[in-house]
Amino acid sequence: MTTIRHAVDLRAAALTILAGREPDWTRLEHCSADTWKLFLRTERCALALKSRLTAAGCAVPDRARAEIERAATRELQRILSARGQLLRIGRLAAGHGIRAIVLKGGVAALASAAPVDVHDVDVLVRPLQAEQLAGLLDEEGFHGTGPAGTAHLAQRIAPNTVQIEVHFALNDIELSDAMWQRARPLDGAAGLSRLGAADHVWHLLVHSVVTHPHRRGSLRDVLLIADALRDCSPTELEEVERRSASHRLARTLHAQLEMARELGAGGPVRDRFRREAASNYLLRGPLGWLGFSRFWTSAFLSALFALLDGAEERRREWELAWQRPPFSSPWGFAARLERRAPRLGRLCRTAVKVMRLMVCRVVAWPVAVAARFLTR
């Protein structure tokens, strides 16, 4: 647990550095190399930290400098790989009349002076062209791996490169014709476009708060949103705020947006997600032997962060569990049962969802309690 407390200390120091000020290094002397590794692996902000520290000419302790340098190098390698992948996709799309929109961190990798770490690149194409683009990538030496999602095809991978996700929809966002019309070309990247400024920020917010609740307050995502806000006019920013205010997670979306605005302005940043950060450190630190992506399912993560968010979010989670799903089950047996006996199929599916939520709540409760204790 001491490691987690120290990682929370590092997060506070990182926010100070990212806001353009030097931290009190004497307060971080107790942080071991393993704590630095846990923090940087979770927050994915080493390149930004290195840039800020270099620009400010700060005298950085050797242990901190070594860990930041090592993590920043890995992040830069992935960013350069993403740039190459996107430029290749752009050439394929332009040569076959496919309109491809770069999403999320890929936009910063191509167009920003302050890119952030990426584990994959995401491109959005019209539904009827998704399989075509995936086939073109396969001809280039990629191959599909893993299951397809509700918004993207199976990931495309090739040796020594970041993976590619071809999207035909956006998770938790209704993709309208107006969004396609507001998209604009990416300078210096033939065949590639990006979402309009307000749509881009909104997608980043929803992706990091709604779709992946464990990324609430993630420094990497806050940095990405802060960079995207620089492209927004006052009118576009008002549009983002209006969308946030009408969402079921309005309070959490607003907190993420405000943190990004404070960071982008270079002033003091109030950390609104210390409990969420401590939970992530726990899952990747003392509980890391379970495997973050293999063991901790999306249902568990949703339950955990709902427990941290408050009673209103926990109540909404119960409501969602009882709601009829808008699409058929991805599991073959359940889908066949729903087709042959719709009422029984829906009843069974709802029962499974409610039972799964109950189990996840029980498992998540001690983690939530520990996160609250560690950030008192």
Residue 302 lies in a domain: yes
Instruction: Assess whether pLDDT exceeds 60 at residue 275.
Output: yes
Instruction: Assess whether pLDDT exceeds 90 at residue 323.
Output: no
- Residue 300's pLDDT band, with cuts at 50, 70 and 90, is confident
Q: How many CA atoms lie within 13 A of 261 on its CB side?
A: 11
Residue 339 lies in a domain: yes
Residue 372 lies in a domain: yes
Question: pLDDT at position 331, please?
Answer: 55
Average pLDDT, rounded, for the chain? 90
Domains identified in the chain, total number: 1
**Predicted confidence (pLDDT) per residue in 117-168, tens digit:** 999 999 999 999 999 999 999 999 999 998 888 899 999 999 989 999 999 9
Residue 207 lies in a domain: no
- Residue 174's pLDDT band, with cuts at 50, 70 and 90, is very high
Instruction: Assess whether pLDDT exceeds 60 at residue 338.
Output: no
d(CA 184, CA 182): 6
Q: Which domain holds residue 343?
A: 297-376
Residue 307 lies in a domain: yes
Question: pLDDT at position 324, please?
Answer: 64
Residue 40 lies in a domain: no
pTM recorded for the entire structure: 0.91
Sheet with 184-185, strands from edge to edge, namely 143-145, 155-157, 163-167, 120-124, 100-103, 192-194, 184-185
Percent of the chain with pLDDT over 70: 91
- Give SS3 for 179: helix
Residue 190 lies in a domain: no
Are the beta carbons of 143 and 157 closer than 8 angstroms?
yes
Residue 337 lies in a domain: yes
